[in-house]
Structure 1
Amino acid sequence: MLSTFSLHQLGWRPEYARHLTLDDFEAGYPARVAAVHRGGLDVFSSRGHGTAVVPHHVNADAGIAVGDWVLVEHEADRVIRLLDRQSLVARVAAGEGHRRQSIAANLDVLFIVSSCNGDFNPSRLERYLALAIDASIMPVVVLTKADLCDDAGDYVAMAERLAPSIAVVALDATDASSVEQLAPWLAPGRTAAFVGSSGVGKSTLANRVIGEAMQLTRDIREDDARGRHTTTSREMFPTAMGAWVIDTPGMRELRLAAPSPDLGAVFDDVESLASQCRFRDCRHEDDAGCAVIQAVVEGMLDARRLDNYRKLQREAARAQRNQREEREHGRQFGAIARRAIQAKRERLEQ
C-alpha cells in the first residue's frame, strides 16, 4: 500500500481550489483529514501521512470531519483554514443536547448497511436514505449476511420498495468475491463511508474492502441479531482499488441535523398523495379530506411508512427550531461581549 499520495489520488477536485489564492498556496499546502483526535488531526497529503493541530480560530460547521480538506501551514503543521466542502454528513449528537456532530465530509457514496436478519429495519433505512440524499451523496443499500438467510431476495425486494431508484446489493461480508459487487462505486479517488447499526457486519465489510483487518471486530449472536460495535472512532483508509473508505462507529441514535431535509426524495409516494389533500396545511392525521390517510385506510400506503415520515418531519422542525435558538444565543452572546469590551475601553480612557 502506498504511503504517499498525489492530490488526485486523495480525491482532490478543482472545486476545492476555487476560493484559494496564490498567497494561500504560498502559506500552506492542501491535506485531507484521515482522523480527528482531541489533540489534532491525522492528515494525508502529497508529503505523506502527518499530523496537524487546529487553532481555535479555525471554525467549522459541526466541527472538522474525517474526509475534510484543510490548508496546513508549511512549517508549523498547523491548520490555516478549512476548505469548502462538497458534502457533509452530520447528525444531532446522541443525548439531550442539540449539538450538531460531523460524521464524514466530501463523500461520493454512502453505503447504508443492514442485514438479512432481525436487524433489517425499513424505518431506519429510510432515515439513512434521507440523510444521504439531503447531503447530495449517492446512497447504496448493502444487505449483509445474505448467505445465512433462506431467501435474501425477500430483503432486497423490501429495500427496493423504500426507494426504487436506489441500488440495493445483497452479499456476504466475509467473502471477497461477494464484496466485489461494490467495486463500481469504489473507483480510484472516490470516497465512501459505511453507516449502519451495531452488529450488522459494517466493520467486517469495511475491513474486507480496505484489504486488511485494521480494526477489531466481534462475532454477533445470530439467534437474536444482537452485537456491539467495535469501531471506536471515525477514520479514513486507502483501499487497494484506489478508493478511500471512512468507517464509522455504529450509531444507535441517529437524528436528522438538517433543518429542511428533502424527505420527498425518499417518501415521494407520501408527498404525491399529500398534494391531493383538500387543505394545504393538512397534518395527515385526522384532517377531513386527507388523501394520505385515505390511502392508508385503503391499503395503498403502509401505515408504518407514514408514521416514519411524520417522525422525520418533526425532527426536521425541531432541528430548524434549535438552529434558530442557537443563532439567537450567539447573537445575544456577541452583543454582551461587545458591551463588555466597550465598557472596559471606557474605563481605561478615564
Structure 2
Amino acid sequence: MHEDVKHVSDQTLPALTDSVLTGPALTALGWSAFFADQIGEDDTGLVPMRVATVHRARMVAQSLSGPVRLVLPPRANTADYAVGDWILAEPATAVLVRRLERRTLLQRRGEGGGAPQLIAANVDTLFIVTSCNDDFSPARLERYLAVANEAGTTPVIVLTKADQVADPGAFRDQAATLQRGVQAVWLDATSSDAAMVLAPWLGVGQTVALVGSSGVGKSSLLNTLAEKSGDDAQLTGSVREDDAKGRHTTTSRSLHAIAGGAMVIDTPGVRSLHVSDLTTGLDQLFAEIAELSPECRFRDCTHGHEPGCAVRAAVSAGTLDPARLERWRKLHEENLSNTPVLTGPRGNKTARPGRRRR
C-alpha cells in the first residue's frame, strides 16, 4: 500500500451499524455474510477493517476511511495475523479487539516443520503465476495447487510473458493437465488485456492472491490490474537470461484495490515451497492416484514396493504417467516429514517433528 497511512485521530472511522455491514463500500473490501454472521451484541460500536500489511512490529488495516495503523493490545503477536484478515477495532483508538474467523487461510512451514508462516487469509482465488520460459515447472506448480486445495481457494494458473514465445498455448495445455478442472490462462502482464483475461475472477468483493517465483511478472501484473504507475507502482525486477530466475522485488505481503472492484494480495517471490499439513490437498491434486488407492491390496500402500498395488499396475499398463506417481511420492513423503504430530495425553498434547514412512 502506497497510500498515506493515517493515525486514528486524523479521521472519522464508521462503527458497526446495519448500514455499514450491508453497504457496498464494505463489500468492495471483501466483506460478506460469512463475516457479518460473526458480529454479536458485544461488538456494537467497533470498526470493521481488513489487514493490509503485516510487519514485525506493526500492522496496517484498510478501513472505510482509508488505511489505518492498528494499535496492538498487550502480548499480541503480529505473526498471528495474515494480510486479508478481518478484524474489529476501537474507533477512537484503533486498538485491535479481535480477529474474525477466517474463511480460507494460505500458510506454509519451512523444511522440517516449525511454526507455520501465514501467507494470506480470506482468499477466493489463488493466481499461481509462472512464465512461458524456463521458470515453468510442473512439479513447482503442483506444490502451489496442493496448498490452494488444502486452503479451500480456487487455483488458477496464470502464464505470463506469453508475448515472448511462439506458442503460449502449449504451456497452457501442459498446465491444465496438472489437476482435473484447473483453469490455466496466458497473458502479457504489462498489457491492458490482462485484466480482460482475468476478469472472471476479479468481480466486486472478490479477493485474489498472487503467488509464484521471483521474476515471473507478479508485480507487473499487479501494476496492470490496479492501474498503478509512477511512485505508486510496485517495483519490478529483471530476469537473468541464463536461468530465467528473477530478483525479489516484492519484500512483504500487501493488499491492493483492483480497478474492476476486486482486492488483490501481492506476495514475495518463493524459490521453494515445502508442503506440510495436507489432508485432502494431495488427493485432489492427484485424483487419478487417490481413486486407484482403494484397489490396492494393503490399505496403507505406499505405491512403491508392495504386491497388489493398483497404482503401479496402472503405470505398467500405461494408463498412469510414471512421472506423476514419482512427484506424488515426493510430495507425500515431504508432507509426512514436515507436518508435526501431536503426542501426549488429551488436553496436554505437544507437537513433535513429522515422520517419514519407511
Name the % identity: 45
The CA distance in 2 between the partners of 1:46 and 1:144, in whole Å, is: 33
SS in 2 for 1:139: strand
Checking the alignment, whether the CA contact within 8 Å between 2:342 and 2:349 is kept in structure 1 is no
The CA distance in 1 between the partners of 2:325 and 2:74, in whole Å, is: 44
Checking the alignment, whether the CA contact within 8 Å between 1:39 and 1:53 is kept in structure 2 is no
**Residue in 2 that maps onto 1:109:** 125
Checking the alignment, whether the CA contact within 8 Å between 2:215 and 2:246 is kept in structure 1 is yes
Q: State the one-letter code of the partner of 2:82.
A: A
2:47 counterpart (13, 29, 43) = 29
Checking the alignment, whether the CA contact within 8 Å between 2:111 and 2:338 is kept in structure 1 is no
**Residue in 1 that maps onto 2:170:** 154
More helix by share: 1
SS in 2 for 1:157: helix
**Residue in 1 that maps onto 2:101:** 84
The CA distance in 1 between the partners of 2:116 and 2:305, in whole Å, is: 33
Deviation at 1:57, TM superposition (A): 4.8
> Cα gap change, 1:286/1:257 in structure 2, threshold over 3 Å: closer, same or farther?
closer
**Residue in 2 that maps onto 1:237:** 256
Deviation at 1:224, TM superposition (A): 2.6
Deviation at 1:66, TM superposition (A): 0.3
**Residue in 2 that maps onto 1:191:** 207
Per-residue deviation, residues 123-158 of structure 1 (Å, max 9, x unmatched): 111111111111111111111111111211211111
The CA distance in 1 between the partners of 2:306 and 2:106, in whole Å, is: 35
Per-residue deviation, residues 299-345 of structure 1 (Å, max 9, x unmatched): 3222221122122222332344x1526x88x9489xxxxxxxxxxxx
Q: State the one-letter code of the partner of 1:155.
A: F
**Residue in 2 that maps onto 1:182:** 198
**Residue in 1 that maps onto 2:81:** 64
The CA distance in 1 between the partners of 2:128 and 2:217, in whole Å, is: 11
The CA distance in 1 between the partners of 2:92 and 2:335, in whole Å, is: 44
> Cα gap change, 1:311/1:65 in structure 2, threshold over 3 Å: closer, same or farther?
same
The CA distance in 1 between the partners of 2:306 and 2:262, in whole Å, is: 50
**Residue in 2 that maps onto 1:132:** 148
> Cα gap change, 1:323/1:7 in structure 2, threshold over 3 Å: closer, same or farther?
farther
Structure 1, unaligned runs of 5 or more: 334-350
Q: State the one-letter code of the partner of 1:36.
A: V
> Cα gap change, 1:181/1:288 in structure 2, threshold over 3 Å: closer, same or farther?
same
Matched residue count: 328
> Cα gap change, 1:332/1:298 in structure 2, threshold over 3 Å: closer, same or farther?
closer
Q: TM-score, normalised by structure 2?
A: 0.84
SS in 1 for 2:108: strand
Higher mean alpha-carbon deviation, 96-105 vs 14-23, is at: 14-23
**Residue in 1 that maps onto 2:356:** none
Per-residue deviation, residues 12-53 of structure 1 (Å, max 9, x unmatched): 112213232222123x21100010122321111123221102
The CA distance in 1 between the partners of 2:282 and 2:111, in whole Å, is: 24
Deviation at 1:274, TM superposition (A): 1.9
The CA distance in 2 between the partners of 1:252 and 1:53, in whole Å, is: 33
Deviation at 1:95, TM superposition (A): 5.4
> Cα gap change, 1:177/1:85 in structure 2, threshold over 3 Å: closer, same or farther?
same
The CA distance in 2 between the partners of 1:2 and 1:35, in whole Å, is: 12
Checking the alignment, whether the CA contact within 8 Å between 2:106 and 2:120 is kept in structure 1 is yes
Deviation at 1:208, TM superposition (A): 1.2
Q: State the one-letter code of the partner of 1:286.
A: H
The CA distance in 2 between the partners of 1:259 and 1:128, in whole Å, is: 12
The CA distance in 2 between the partners of 1:149 and 1:223, in whole Å, is: 16
The CA distance in 1 between the partners of 2:261 and 2:210, in whole Å, is: 17
Higher mean alpha-carbon deviation, 188-197 vs 3-12, is at: 3-12
1:199-210 correspondence to structure 2 within 5 Å:
199-210=215-226
Q: TM-score, normalised by structure 1?
A: 0.86
1:208-287 correspondence to structure 2 within 5 Å:
208-213=224-229, 214-287=233-306
Deviation at 1:273, TM superposition (A): 2.2
**Residue in 2 that maps onto 1:48:** 66
The CA distance in 1 between the partners of 2:199 and 2:187, in whole Å, is: 13
Deviation at 1:212, TM superposition (A): 0.8
Q: State the one-letter code of the partner of 1:105.
A: A
**Residue in 2 that maps onto 1:341:** none
The CA distance in 1 between the partners of 2:161 and 2:131, in whole Å, is: 6
> Cα gap change, 1:116/1:247 in structure 2, threshold over 3 Å: closer, same or farther?
same
Q: State the one-letter code of the partner of 1:304.
A: A
The CA distance in 1 between the partners of 2:75 and 2:88, in whole Å, is: 14
Q: State the one-letter code of the partner of 2:144.
A: Y
Checking the alignment, whether the CA contact within 8 Å between 2:52 and 2:84 is kept in structure 1 is yes
**Residue in 2 that maps onto 1:345:** none
Q: State the one-letter code of the partner of 2:342.
A: R
Deviation at 1:73, TM superposition (A): 1.4
The CA distance in 1 between the partners of 2:280 and 2:246, in whole Å, is: 31
Checking the alignment, whether the CA contact within 8 Å between 1:259 and 1:323 is kept in structure 2 is no
The CA distance in 1 between the partners of 2:276 and 2:72, in whole Å, is: 24
